[in-house]
Amino acid sequence: MARMPGNHSAQLEEAIRRRARELYVHSGGLEGHDAANWHQAEAEILRESAVFGARRAVVVNVQGVVYTGEYESTSANGYTPGEWKAGDPVAVRLAGDKLYLRRGNGQELKTTIVKRIG
């Protein structure tokens, strides 16, 4: 199946590609419908991702306890994944079910703790 142009992450594009392939197989391998299959798959996957939304999270080890904190990208004050690398020291603050991580620019990334191990 030909790859159609789009402005999607590699993960999203792979999901679209798999769905387009399923549509192709389901149609009995009918040739010449690559674009139609791709556009239908794209619409389905984008609709599904909008309903469920992408979950964004950080994982940190605080004195032997591993926390997973989810955050909303709309309230992350410009935080982008990759600001911290594995093993980087990060100042954290715990408050109830919230985990705050001090960023290099002095702002905090507010997360909701969804998992605690240890």
- Quick one: 48 and 66 in the same domain? no
Q: Is the pLDDT of residue 109 over 90?
A: yes
Secondary structure class of 17 (helix, strand, coil): helix
Cα angle value 68/92/96 (rounded, 5°): 65
Range of the domain at 78: 56-117
**With contact defined as beta carbons under 8 Å apart, do 21 and 1 qualify?**
yes
Residue 5 inside a domain? The answer is no
Q: What are phi and psi of 13, to 5 degrees?
A: -65, -40
Residue 113 inside a domain? The answer is yes
Share of the chain above pLDDT 70, in %: 87
Q: What is the per-residue pLDDT across 29-80, written as a single tens digit (0 to 9) for each?
A: 888 888 888 988 888 888 776 655 567 888 999 999 999 999 887 778 888 8
- Quick one: 45 and 74 in the same domain? no
Strand partners, 46: none
Q: Tell if the pTM clears 0.75, that is, is over it.
A: no
Provide the pLDDT for residue 33: 87
Both tokens of residue 28?
């009995």
Domain count, the chain: 2
Residue 71 inside a domain? The answer is yes
Give residue 1's pLDDT band: very low, low, confident or very high (50, 70, 90).
very low
Strand partners, 113: 69
Residue 3 inside a domain? The answer is no
